[in-house]
Amino acid sequence: MSGHGYLTAAFYLFVELPDCAALQAPLLARCEALQIKGLILLAHEGINGTVAGTPDNIAALLEFLHADPRLQALEHKESWSDKPPFRRMRVRVKREIVTLGVPGINPAKQAGTYVKPQHWNALISRPDVVVVDTRNTYEVELGTFQGAKNPQIASFAELPNWINDAPSMQPDNGKRPVVAMFCTGGIRCEKSTALLRQQGFTEVYHLQGGILKYLEVVPPEDSLWQGECFVFDERVSVGHGLQAGPHQLCRCCRQPLPDGALDAPEFELGVSCPRCYASTSPAQKDGARERQRQWERAKVRAQELRSKTI
């Protein structure tokens, strides 16, 4: 077992869950009973979550999920941390487990062809393949695959418009291009390849397990990945071997701090950074300052309690 104390499990599965709302309460109760924290999304199209806890408790949660016959195929990725990656547990019911906003897509039946990380380099090195990073701009800034297209999107829901407009995605002599898509863990590229197939693209691929699986199994000396991979927890970013990177997170916009942000006049711990300063009102900044003060007081109280028990 790893010497770290907290195991993070990330998972998703596109599967029909018409009773997703009825699953919310028992799933939240199970997570809370196991002292697991994180976020799980439920929708008619499936489940998507990232949670953290002790190894035994994470194993118990996965057993609970696999007990539903529809979720038996659910796979997860693991990583470790010395401190809790999440502060609370939430289970939400949404229209989509990853929001694209295009009706009629069924990734469980329409997704493109999986490509294992070991075969990914050969695919994206082909001159006839358009490689597309389906993530948001602030994620791409930290790292991406060599030669990949950056759609410059602020949210996944903007990707369909980019696909419709990008010259590299248009037919050539009536033939659609060969496309390889990737994202952090696989969920966005699985849905985006389903979108392409719905639109008539016939040769569409996506990286199985996403960037995280690639960084886990492909040695750095063989890698075509450049930089770090943004992750949606307290690690902020990871590199090869899924080792935590050097980046910090803005507590307001939940995006990685850009270079020089700590010295910028727009930066205030827990309140704003250069990315989000202009997008929040004075009242919202005051609310963020109060939350930061409460968090700091709670942290001090926790440290005092620990010192009394030692």
| Mean pLDDT within 241-258 | 79
- Over residues 202-232, the pLDDT tens digits come to 999 999 999 999 999 999 999 999 999 988 7
Q: For 220, which DSSP code?
A: G
Q: Which helix (H) or strand (E) element contains residue 297?
A: helix 282-309
DSSP H stretches of helix in 127-209: 137-140, 159-165, 187-198
Q: CB count, 10 Å around CB of 62?
A: 17
Of residues 31, 183, 229, 273, which has the active-site annotation? Answer: 183
- Over residues 72-82, the pLDDT tens digits come to 999 998 888 77
Place of tokens 């199209």: 45
Residue 258 scores a pLDDT above 90: no
Which pLDDT belongs to residue 305?
62
Phi, psi of 202 (to 5 degrees): -105, -30
Which pLDDT belongs to residue 55?
94
Distance CA 24, CA 19 (A): 9
Most confident of 187-191, 256-260, 289-293: 187-191
Domains and CATH numbers, the chain: 6-93 (3.30.70.100), 107-227 (3.40.250.10), 248-310 (no CATH)
179 close to 169: Cβ distance less than 8 angstroms:
yes
107 close to 14: Cβ distance less than 8 angstroms:
yes
Task: Establish whether 183 is a catalytic residue.
Answer: yes
Confidence band, pLDDT 50/70/90 cuts, at residue 113: very high
Distance CA 234, CA 125 (A): 33
